[in-house]
Structure 1
Amino acid sequence: MPGLPPDGEPVPRDGSLPAAALASVGERGFGVYVHVPFCASRCGYCDFNTYTAAELAGGVTRESYADLVLDELRLAARVLDGTAPKARTVFFGGGTPTLLPADDLARILDGVDATFGLAEDAEISTEANPESVDPAYLARLLDAGFTRVSLGMQSAARHVLAVLDRKHSPGRAAQAAVEARETGFGHVNLDLIYGTPGERDEDWAASLDAAVAAGVDHVSAYSLIVEDGTRLAARIRRGELAMPDDDVAADRYLAADATLSAAGLDWYEVSNWARDEAARCRHNLLYWQGGDWWGFGPGAHSHVGGVRWWNVRHPSAYAARLAEGVSPGEGRELLADEDRYLEDVLLRLRIVDGIRVTSLAPPGPEKAARAVADGLLDEEAFAEGIARLTLRGRLLADAVVRDLLPD
């Protein structure tokens, strides 16, 4: 997970949760996140909790990792003690989950099924780097029950990939997406990044066109964020690269929406477009709609019944906690009703379903009416009692949300 967690309070050694949390688990759905912290190399813009083989020399290995996750699954089974419903979604993220053997991902998925059970129509996703999968690997994932693949494309321009320190060739991501579809995956996503220093209008247009031509049913497009402590931030600080420009990023977003909409991919979250409702990422919707999930792996975050906690970040520390038979949780927060309300507004307003105007605390409804007049919220939706962002509102989503929150 990116960034550093808050301080929080200590997690009980046995990982136990308050009775109130156990009583309400899964009321808005329940899912599982599995963090795989390995990367073949570190991208210059990334501040996620990931490690190369050299950084983990003598410590946790890819070969032993599945067993560690299965250990945490056993802890989760003891903590939840049958209170969780079957998992609607399972998402393997990273890092690069597909650096593990496909059989190990399958073994972890079997462990999730044995611990919680999987809903009959469960969405099972994995992230993948384009160079980390081939048709045989994809076929094994499909056979294991995976239903969705999300590939990190970022750009179709060689010089943009070089600035981002991506190792795959410009055409490999689209090729991998085609391979996934031909293998039998019904849902394939391509991740794009816009606003990279040196990216031209035509580079971004070519990236969008390549994603559309790959025939995927989902595209995510994110503005490049320069995170402190990354190689990219250091290069910008030294003057080797220009800082991303907000006006350019806005233009890139408008171009993305126009191209993807014309290709039949409609926005359903500020940074995500899907072919239809079935193609939407249900795991991410679980986050945005305030559901519950258990996050497995070093640095993974979880949320169950209003309790949010996060695991120790380093794989060796994670392994040591599990070897002692104690929770790998480093800290947790018990969210007050006000905290949950603020997060609900923040996240729900980002999705196309929006949020009911009557659920906004005063003076939220009056502020929403002003946002409609300013062209930031959809007038027709507002007439039906829903606050939904317009295209202009999506460009200013953070500001719109802040304005609707209590003073």
Structure 2
Amino acid sequence: MPSALPIADPAPADGRLPASVLDGAEDRALGVYLHVPFCRVRCGYCDFNTYTSDQLRGARRSDFAGQAAEEVAFAAAVLADAGLPQRRASTVFFGGGTPTLLPPADLAHMLGAVRDTFGLAPGAEVTTEANPDSVDAAALRTLADAGFTRVSFGMQSAVPHVLEVLDRTHDPERVPLVVGWARDAGLDVSLDLIYGAPGESLDDWRRSLDTALALEPDHLSAYALIIEDGTALARRIRSGEVPAPDDDLQADMYELADERLAAAGYGWYEVSNWARHDGARSRHNLSYWTGEDWWGVGPGAHSHVGGVRWWNVKHPAAYAQRIAAGGSPAAGRETLDDATRAVERVLLETRLADGMPVDRLDTGGRRAIAGLLADGLVEAGPAFAGRVVLTRSGRLLADGVVRRLLPAEGSAPT
């Protein structure tokens, strides 16, 4: 089952936000995330908040689009009551789960609720995730006609034995088909890859990269496999059935990916993400990394508005009950203090190719830059220009770089 929700303050039943969310609101964009928590099968490595048919306990997929639309209306009322400026959604992202397990008409209905309630900003980015075996040409055309601009396919690997250990069910031969159908429909295409699966060799990973690049996606994400407690894959590793990922091999795989992608004309803009040009970057994900506002709709979805963060009840049945009652579906909430927000900015912005302004750091953090330069972990040119930008080696050691930049416990960056 999915991991537990964070422990924090109770969320108010009416969703009311504190006055502090108004500070700087006119400078923040608004995004909407819709979490569709349904999967045909549960992948062995996954600890996302997803449910197969036998785990729904009376909740029905067919009811979900209407429930999500009701939460969108609730969101608009809460934001208006807080006195926030009216903002059209600049990005909309359908994640999961497998959003495309729902009929295209249901996804169009949810997008229509966002459009009718908030409006969509000119050039809004509208993305859905999809498994290669969950869409066909007609479905992709319907999504494009409804206003979707982008699809992110969970390719993960081109190698059958790697897909098998990850419990992925699609035929790798289908990926070129769905990419072609998406392009025919006028959709931008992103491909998601995972590296470091048990039994995956460097040659296997090279084959996946080359296969993905041959399809010329607009965007590509490559994530190191992380073994999450409580997952089926964690149990298989613990029992000795399959080996644990090798950190050194994963580092080699990352370096290979960055080399191959750069040679093909893709620029990294976040540690695990590359795009063919700046316009192909995932603007929705960038809103997370740069601290914009977003409302998360659906079971277990997380939201952030002006330093207030909350998350919904996890199970679709509990979510349905909250929505039917007309109150907030939130399970918990926290208001971030200035010190926490400053630390998060360092943590997130150092992952970006655009870098983090040096003036976010305290005196100790600024002094640490000299050592990071000497160790080859940050780029010299940007550092002298006042920004911290990671080298390739620095990206491999990003968490360690952040620890060296952060202030001593109990203090905050100036």
Aligned counterparts of 1:172 and 1:206: Cα–Cα separation in 2: 16
Aligned counterparts of 1:25 and 1:56: Cα–Cα separation in 2: 38
Query: Could you tell me which amino acid in structure 1 is paired with residue 39 of structure 2?
Result: C
Q: By how many angstroms is 1:28 displaced? A: 2.6
Query: Which 4+ residue blocks in structure 1 deviate beyond 6 angstroms?
Result: none
Q: By how many angstroms is 1:84 displaced? A: 4.1
Q: By how many angstroms is 1:173 displaced? A: 2.3
Q: By how many angstroms is 1:175 displaced? A: 2.6
Contact kept in structure 1, 2:194 and 2:225, CA below 8 Å: yes
Q: By how many angstroms is 1:54 displaced? A: 1.3
Aligned counterparts of 1:401 and 1:38: Cα–Cα separation in 2: 35
Contact kept in structure 1, 2:373 and 2:380, CA below 8 Å: yes
Q: Deviations over 1:77-114 (max 9, x none)?
A: 21111634111100000000001111111111111112
Contact kept in structure 2, 1:195 and 1:249, CA below 8 Å: yes
C-alpha RMSD of matched pairs (Å): 1.3
Please list, as runs of the form range in 1=range in 2, the aligned pairs for 1:228-267 lying within 5 A after superposition: 228-267=229-268
Q: Deviations over 1:372-403 (max 9, x none)?
A: 11100000111111110001100101110111
Distance 1:26 1:222, change over 3 A: farther
Q: Deviations over 1:352-371 (max 9, x none)?
A: 01011122122111101210
Distance 1:177 1:286, change over 3 A: same
Please list, as runs of the form range in 1=range in 2, the aligned pairs for 1:88-167 lying within 5 A after superposition: 88-167=90-169
Q: By how many angstroms is 1:255 displaced? A: 0.6
Aligned match of 2:170:
168
In the alignment, structure 1 residue 55 sits paired with structure 2 residue 55: yes
Query: Could you tell me which amino acid in structure 2 is paired with residue 36 of structure 1?
Result: V
Q: By how many angstroms is 1:74 displaced? A: 1.6
Distance 1:313 1:54, change over 3 A: same
Q: Deviations over 1:255-289 (max 9, x none)?
A: 10011111111101000010000000000000000
Query: Could you tell me which amino acid in structure 2 is paired with residue 21 of structure 1?
Result: V
TM-score norm. by structure 2 comes to 0.96
TM-score norm. by structure 1 comes to 0.97
Aligned counterparts of 2:202 and 2:177: Cα–Cα separation in 1: 23
Q: By how many angstroms is 1:325 displaced? A: 1.2
Aligned counterparts of 2:78 and 2:61: Cα–Cα separation in 1: 27
Aligned counterparts of 2:321 and 2:155: Cα–Cα separation in 1: 35
Aligned counterparts of 1:275 and 1:308: Cα–Cα separation in 2: 32
Please list, as runs of the form range in 1=range in 2, the aligned pairs for 1:60-99 lying within 5 A after superposition: 60-81=59-80, 83-99=85-101
Contact kept in structure 2, 1:177 and 1:190, CA below 8 Å: no
Aligned counterparts of 2:305 and 2:33: Cα–Cα separation in 1: 13
Distance 1:26 1:195, change over 3 A: farther
Distance 1:3 1:366, change over 3 A: farther
Structure 1's unaligned 5+ residue stretches are: none
DSSP-derived class of the 2:27 partner: coil
Q: By how many angstroms is 1:24 displaced? A: 4.1
Aligned match of 2:392:
391
Aligned counterparts of 2:266 and 2:177: Cα–Cα separation in 1: 20
Q: By how many angstroms is 1:182 displaced? A: 2.2
Aligned match of 2:272:
271
DSSP-derived class of the 1:83 partner: coil
Aligned counterparts of 1:179 and 1:252: Cα–Cα separation in 2: 30
Query: Could you tell me which amino acid in structure 2 is paired with residue 102 of structure 1?
Result: P
Aligned counterparts of 1:317 and 1:56: Cα–Cα separation in 2: 10
Contact kept in structure 2, 1:3 and 1:48, CA below 8 Å: yes
Aligned counterparts of 1:391 and 1:2: Cα–Cα separation in 2: 33
Aligned counterparts of 2:2 and 2:61: Cα–Cα separation in 1: 21
Aligned counterparts of 1:88 and 1:63: Cα–Cα separation in 2: 28
Aligned counterparts of 1:3 and 1:397: Cα–Cα separation in 2: 24
DSSP-derived class of the 1:363 partner: helix
Please list, as runs of the form range in 1=range in 2, the aligned pairs for 1:214-363 lying within 5 A after superposition: 214-363=215-364
Distance 1:374 1:50, change over 3 A: same
Q: Deviations over 1:160-195 (max 9, x none)?
A: 00000000012222331222112211x211000000
Query: Could you tell me which amino acid in structure 1 is paired with residue 49 of structure 2?
Result: N
Aligned counterparts of 1:333 and 1:150: Cα–Cα separation in 2: 31
Aligned counterparts of 2:344 and 2:2: Cα–Cα separation in 1: 18
Query: Could you tell me which amino acid in structure 1 is paired with residue 283 of structure 2?
Result: R
Count of residues paired in the alignment? 405
- When structure 1 is superposed on structure 2, of 26-35 and 211-220 the one drifting more is 26-35
